Amino acid sequence: MFVSSAHLEAMLDAMYVMDNPPGSWEDVETGEAWIEAFGISEKEVEATAREMAEIAESIDGIPHAAAVEPLAKEDWTESWKRFFHVLHITDRIIVRPIWEPYSPTANEIVIDIEPGMSFGTGIHPTTQSCIKFLQQLAEEGDLERTVIDMGCGDGEDARAAARKLGFDHVSGYDYDPSAVKTSIENATTNDLEIPFHEGDALAPVLPSGDIFVANILAPVLLEAAPTICQAVNNSHGHALVLSGILDTQYADVKAAYSALGFAERASILAGEWHSGLFTRS
């Protein structure tokens, strides 16, 4: 299915409920994007295509075009890899699928990933924003600060970035055991030792750190605001990174945390996703 890059995330979010969730790739130069799903039979693929079209048509104002194409059996195990390429997140941080060669410069940091066939779009814009804020904080110095990453499954690259940027004390938490497993695998791929634990952002008490990264959907950030703020150490160089927020929800999140004593220091708008860097006011 062809869509514009501007509507890609909205379409994927709507299609997440499908039994066979699709993946995607996009051409940043033309602004075109492709949402694709695979099946083992023509009947299965046609049913998936109909479901994708129905979901797309339910979202007003988003143009799309769908097609069903056969895939040669000999191409099946490798064809999905064409969706993933070396990605420059910042001027220093590079994300590389392990099958693609890349020679970094002396100042670059490479994070290796081994995405599976259900990896989706690759690194989500919210994760990229977290990585950018972590680089900014690292370049300010004081790498002894503890970093807590309370994520919802796609923050494992942010954890790797924090460790590779030089922060000595990085740990990750997620309520989903499978996300914890993926994070451990990602750290192993990058030869990093990062402790991961199961943990819920809505728990009455959260692990504390000097830098607290919460890449979670806005409703959870709003409900957990008091405990998240308490989890940020009142130390020199403390910071709170809030991500996973739609632009339409950002003002409410910002207001909630401002009421609890945290002021926005910087923000990043990536497509429809808005992320913020906060410190105590």
Domain ranges across the chain: 2-77, 125-280
Does residue 153 have a pLDDT over 90?
no
What is the DSSP pairing of strand 239-246 with strand 273-280?
antiparallel
Q: Which has the higher per-residue pLDDT, 68 or 92?
A: 92
The pLDDT of residue 119: 41
- The Cα diameter of the chain in Å comes to 60
Alpha carbon 1 to its chain's center: 23
Mean pLDDT of 26-36: 74
Q: Which has the higher per-residue pLDDT, 62 or 216?
A: 216
Supply the pTM of this predicted model: 0.72
Selection from 231, 113, 238 nearest residue 164 by Cα: 113
Mean of the per-residue pLDDT values of the chain: 84
* Cα three-residue angle 137-140-141, rounded to 5 degrees: 100
Q: How far apart are alpha carbons 274 and 267 in whole angstroms?
A: 7
Alpha carbon 139 to its chain's center: 22
pLDDT digits (tens, 9 = 90+) for 127-148: 899 999 999 999 998 899 999 9
Q: What CATH fold (topology level) applies to the domain 125-280?
A: Rossmann fold (3.40.50)
